[in-house]
Amino acid sequence: MRQRNRRKPRTDGRENRDRWMITYADLITLLLIFFVILFAMSSLDTHKFNIVTSSLSDTFKSGNPVLDGGNGVLEGQKGLQSAGTGNGKNGGNGDSADTGQEQKNAATGPTASPPPADPEPSAREQAFREQEAKLAALMGVITQYVQDNHLGDQIFVADKPQGIAITLSDRYLFDVGRAELKAPALPALRQLSGLFRGIGATISIEGHTDNMPVSAGSRYNDNWELSGARALSVLRFFLDTEGLNPDTFQYAGYADTRPAVSNSTPEGRQKNRRVEITVLRQLQEKE
């Protein structure tokens, strides 16, 4: 009985001394598993990484570039990767050549694009320019004729929005209260008819009077008849005497409804008694 009791403590002590090996083995196993997990977490899926990189690159390229000369945030990284290969081989996609061109552009600065060429004028614009050239020539010829013949106080030329207006005083064209053309006015009208022959525009003839009633001995009842008759006399000269095309003319009498100046003075009334011949602009410039 005593011997058996003495052996048991020896057995228990040996077991206690070997138990640390179990703990140590468990610790080594846990460390191995830990490092395996770390390694697995650190492994990079190249395919998935390329997909994410391409998606981000497209997103940044679709916006405004961060720096002048670049196509996005990832463009600079792409250029560095292409330059770092050293052998110019990038799977045959030409990235190396693109990077060289980008570096060349960065060194020389952005290339200025040539100014856009002037578009060809449309048919309407061309017709408007031709019309303006004819009107300018017409005004120049008439102005020179007035100066050469000292008619500055009888004939007035002006460039108005509706066209070139030629104003002839009534005392230069007619006697008082009458609508028959006077002989001294015929050379000027003949000069105008030669200019109108090839102008290719509508010509408006308008008769105007002052606000004074017609004289008692006049053949016309009022200023409406007188102004219309005077405009018609000028029209008849161009059509019957000079043989111009009637399709290019129009005429009207406005009496005293459209005065050029006030009728309060004799000078103003004299200016209002007139015949206006206007070469109309038929084409308006586009705004």
> Which phi and psi (to 5°) does residue 82 adopt?
-65, -40
Q: What is the pLDDT of residue 79?
A: 46
> How many helices (H) does the chain have, and how many strands (E)?
9, 5
Beta strand pairing call for 249-253 and 203-208: parallel
Domain with CATH 3.30.1330.60 in the chain: 123-280
Q: What is the pLDDT of residue 204?
A: 96
Contact 163/135 with Cβ under 8 angstroms? yes
Nearest alpha carbon to residue 138 among 206, 184, 193, 204: 193
Q: What is the pLDDT of residues 201-221, one digit of tens each?
A: 899 999 999 999 998 888 999
Contact 70/99 with Cβ under 8 angstroms? no
115 has pLDDT over 80: no
Which of 106-115, 175-184, 222-231, 274-283 is predicted with the least confidence, judged by mean pLDDT? Answer: 106-115
Q: What is the pLDDT of residues 3-57, one digit of tens each?
A: 555 555 555 555 667 778 888 888 888 888 888 887 776 665 666 667 756 765 6
> Residues with Cβ < 8 Å from 73, sequence gap 6 or more?
60, 66
Give the pLDDT band (50/70/90) at residue 89.
very low
| Average pLDDT value for residue range 166-189 | 94
Contact 176/110 with Cβ under 8 angstroms? no
Beta bridge partners of 168: 155, 275
Question: Could you tell me which CATH class the domain 123-280 is placed in?
Answer: alpha beta
DSSP label at residue 238: I
188 has pLDDT over 90: yes
Contact 250/279 with Cβ under 8 angstroms? no
DSSP label at residue 258: S
Query: How far apart are alpha carbons 129 and 131 in whole angstroms?
Result: 5
**Residue in this structure with the two tokens 């040996």, named with its chain if needed:** 14
Give the percent of the chain with pLDDT over 90.
43
Q: Which residue has the higher pLDDT, 212 or 85?
A: 212
Dihedral sign for Cα atoms in the order 169, 173, 176, 179: negative
269 has pLDDT over 90: yes
DSSP label at residue 63: S
Q: What is the pLDDT of residues 60-76, one digit of tens each?
A: 565 554 444 445 444 44
Where do the DSSP E strands lie in the chain?
155-160, 163-169, 203-208, 249-253, 274-280
